[in-house]
Structure formats: structure tokens, C-alpha cells
Amino acid sequence: MSIEDRAPAAPAAALEQSATTAQPLTGRWRFNPATAQWWWSEETFQIHGFEPHEVVPTTDLVLAHKHPDDRERFRDLFESAKVSGAPFHSMHRIMDARGHERVVTLVGQGRLDHDTGDVVELMGYFIDTTAPVAQRAEALAGTHIRAAAAHRGTIEQAKGILSVTHGLTIDEAFQLLRGTSNQHNVPVRDLAARLITLGRILPVDEHRRHAVNEFLRNPA
């Protein structure tokens, strides 16, 4: 999965959690830079694996639950938001209180003092996007698997053509195909597809072998 931080044009609108829908669990949060005090809604406690008000949220607690690989990047983003108050967005991993890894999206923005321009509060939403991310990853994996299966079928047909025209074993045919691919910097699947097209229009005779040889010498 790609984990990234970026600033949106504006913070996301409130996403209401419904027990009757499959919407991601969404919790609210607020932070006071002057006192370093946090406020979490019940949903935010749940996202972090706690019962509501089971613990007192602190910056150290928030950081402790970030995945080690994402912690420093989130810290930098949060420190910057405390100074600028600009809208921000982060998708990162956390380890909840039960030891489960979750993918969360955090959006927020600052509220500025009208007189000084200082950030007096940060506020926003925690969204548990673990399930949507997993579903997307599963869908992408299925796409790649289907594509790989299609490519394998094409390559198998090309190997069969080389086996017939050159009297090679299947393994030898693949070595020839791969060697030609490396030599001419043409992907094996593309080379195989072109070879199949050529094989369909040529008769099975010595002329076909000659044409295949010419193709392998210059497949571009």
C-alpha cells in the first residue's frame, strides 16, 4: 500500500457514522496547542482500540499508536500544522490498543486568533479506512492476477510456436523468447503477442521458420 501526506484545498466535511451502513468509522478530535490537551469523540477512542474515555488522550499517546515507519512523518506534519493552521491530510497506519494494525485517514485544520493570527486550536476527523484500503488492495491483486494469467497464456502459445518451428523443448523455447526480449528491450508478453500474430498468418513450413527467425532478429 502507498502511505502519503498532503494538504487538501479544504478539510473533509463531517462524515457521519451509521450503524446500518458500511461507511468507515469516523471520529472527531480537537487539540489545544497552548495546553497540549486533546479531546476525542467516542468513535476516535474506538478507532484506537479503547473504550470511550478509557484513557486520557495525549500527544505522546497519539504518537505511540502510530506505526513506527509512519510516526516521524506524522509528527512533522502535526508540528507544521500547529504553526500554520493550514488544512492537512494524512493517511497512515496505527497499532490499536488490541495490537491490530489499522489504516487511518486524518484530516484537520487550525482555528486562528483573530488578533494575533496564532493557532489556538486544531480540529478534524479520524477515519478508519482499514477495510476500504484492504478491499482496494484485494481488487488490485485480482486485476494483476488476471492480467498475469492472460500474459501466461500468450507466452505459452508463443513458446509452442517456437517449439514447432525450431524443434525446441518448451523450456528452450522460453529461453529463446526471454533472450530476444532482453536483447531488444521488448517485454516478453509483447514479443509473444507479436509472435502469435505472425504465426497465425504463416503456413507451417520452412518459410514460417525463416519468417520467425527474421522476427526474432528484429522484433521492433
Radius of gyration of the chain (CA): 28
Please tell me which residue, 201 or 45, carries the higher pLDDT value: 45
Euclidean distance between CA atoms 193 and 106, whole angstroms: 46
pLDDT of 16 over the 60 cut: no
Cell numbers at 146, concatenated: 488476471
Kind and range of the H or E element at 94? strand 88-95
Q: pTM of the full predicted structure?
A: 0.54
pLDDT of residue 173: 79
pLDDT of residue 3: 39
Model confidence over 28-69: pLDDT tens digits? 999 999 999 999 999 999 999 999 999 999 999 999 999 999
Write the secondary structure of 108-120 as one string of H (helix), E (strand) and C (coil): EEEEECCCCCCEE
Q: In what order do the strands lie in the sheet with 101-112?
A: 5-6, 88-95, 101-112, 119-128, 26-32, 37-40
Cell numbers at 158, concatenated: 508463443
Euclidean distance between CA atoms 83 and 120, whole angstroms: 10
pLDDT of residue 136: 62
Model confidence over 121-141: pLDDT tens digits? 999 999 898 876 556 655 655
Instruction: List phi, psi (to 5°) of 179.
Output: -65, -40
Kind and range of the H or E element at 150? helix 130-166
Euclidean distance between CA atoms 179 and 185, whole angstroms: 10
